[in-house]
Amino acid sequence: METVIPSKPVMNIPIAKPTMTGDEMALIQQALTSGWVSMGPLTQQFEQAICKVTGATHAVAMNSCTSAIHVAMLIHGIGAGHEVICPSYSFIASANGIRHAGAEPVFADINPTTLTLDPEHTETLIQENYDANLINKKTGHQLRAIHLVHQLGIPGDIDTFARLAEKYNLVLIEDNACGLGSTYKLQPLGSSGFTNSLSFHPRKVITTGEGGMLLTGSTDLAAKAGVYRAHGMSISDFARHNAKATTYESYEVVGYNYRLTDIQAAIGLKQVERLESFIQRRRQIAAIYNQAFAPLPELSIIEVPDYVTRWNYQSYPLRLVDADQAKRDAFMLALQEVGITTRRGIPPIHQEPVYQQGLILPQTEQVSQTSLMLPIFPLMTDEEVHYVVEHVLNTCKRLL
């Protein structure tokens, strides 16, 4: 009689899962009963907590990172008739925030080993497309800024881009949506003093459901950002409520309703308390992945440059060597069939219909077509991690 060996049960592992422990409920209840359901004292505390962990001088909470990017452009005077260099290898919000301000994104290629803007390609783009006054020879628009995205939490080379911005008299703005807890030359992302933006979307290192933050080293720019996020009011509701004399707001700019709620801030405050444990667990998972995949010639993992002194592993990218998009898609499908959710490499913004202009960015396109993101989140068990490793290795043997 033939012995039937039962097959291992199929797991269902998402690409990400927010880590909530229930501790958030007490602060949420406090917000619900305090009278400050919208932007109030807990939002202010959340801003202070983010400043503490990032080393930023000022933090301005907003309802999304996209809003923070938009406001970052506005407070630097970037708008209609201006252009901003940014990577195409990023979530589309990196470009949308520029366009919301009335400016146009100009897409530069990435370094495939860091997944962040390539400084050499960026400078070549400037030299070949703009005159001495930074006027685009084709569009007639003026180049005003570089938008440096710390993709997947991997710090871009801030110092190199700061020198490039200074050389060409450009504003440097950081897109730090994925970077909370990562460090550049031992300093936390957000501490540079340059204006930058954070995201608290559920796939990020900490979450408030939806939400974002603008960080800056400038008191003046922080004040301007605070005005833009609240309809253009010269003084916030919370500040007016706590004033000792009757105070009236005025409106000198057309602002937006980009306010974070105190309910979201309550969640954020509890999330910040666990930031280090979240990052530690992500790095533990990544270490297991790295050990398993690094020896295989068919697979390529990210080996960060020396200036990246801590990567938070907001996502875990894996690249298939000598593959194409069809093989990558087949790889993803094979993992999906055993319950492992993945995501494709970040789709290039310049290929989306809303931004398509026939531009070719070889590194961006190649990386996007041949890479995928594996599950990584603090609640992931060791059993789940090893299940992913096992099936990635099996799929590699079968398909590559």
Q: What is the pLDDT of residues 84-125, one digit of tens each?
A: 999 999 999 999 999 999 999 999 999 999 999 999 999 999
Measure Cα distances from 261 to 133, 134, 343 in Å.
Answer: 43, 40, 30
* Contact assessment for residue 296 and residue 236, using Cβ atoms and an 8 Å cutoff: no
The predicted pLDDT at position 239 comes to 66
The mean pLDDT of 135-140, rounded to a whole number, is 97
The percent of residues in the chain predicted with pLDDT above 90, rounded, is 88
Is the pLDDT score of 285 beyond 80? Answer: yes
Within 10 A of 235 (CB to CB), how many other CB atoms are there?
A: 16
Q: Residue 71 half-sphere exposure, CB side, CA atoms within 13 Å? A: 38
Q: Which of 186, 240, 214, 210 is nearest to 63 (CA)?
A: 210
Structural domains in the chain plus CATH codes: 24-273 (3.40.640.10), 275-399 (3.90.1150.10)
Rounded CA-CA distance 298/321 in Å is 5
Q: How confident is the model at residue 371 (pLDDT cuts 50, 70, 90)?
A: very high
pLDDT value at residue 1: 45
Residue 5 has pLDDT above 60, yes or no: no
**Residue 354 burial (CB count, 10 A):** 9
Q: Give 333's pLDDT tier (boundaries 50, 70, 90).
A: very high
What integer best gives the mean pLDDT of the chain?
Answer: 95
| Confidence at residue 241, expressed as pLDDT on a 0 to 100 scale | 64
Q: pTM score, two decimals?
A: 0.94
Averaged pLDDT, 270-298: 97
Q: Which residues on neighbouring strands pair with residue 389, listed in sequence order?
A: none
3: pLDDT strictly greater than 60: no
Q: CA-to-CA distance for 356 and 350, rounded, in angstroms?
A: 5
- Enclosing H/E stretch for 163: helix 158-167
Nearest Cα neighbor of 190 from 201, 178, 200 is 178
Q: 105 — alpha (psi -120 to 50), left (phi > 0) or beta?
A: beta
Strands (E), 207-352: 212-216, 299-300, 308-310, 316-320, 343-344
Give 132's DSSP letter.
T
Q: Which of 24-33, 70-79, 155-164, 383-392 has the lowest mean pLDDT?
A: 24-33
Residue 194 CA, distance from chain mean position: 16
Alpha-carbon span 12 to 360, nearest angstrom: 37
Spatial distance between the Cα atoms of 252 and 217, rounded to a whole number of angstroms: 23
For residue 244, is pLDDT > 70?
no
The predicted pLDDT at position 4 comes to: 45
In the chain the first and final C-alpha atoms are separated, in Å, by 37
Contact (Cβ atoms closer than 8 angstroms) between residue 182 and residue 311: yes
Q: What is the pLDDT of residue 226?
A: 97
- For residue 242, pLDDT beyond 70: no
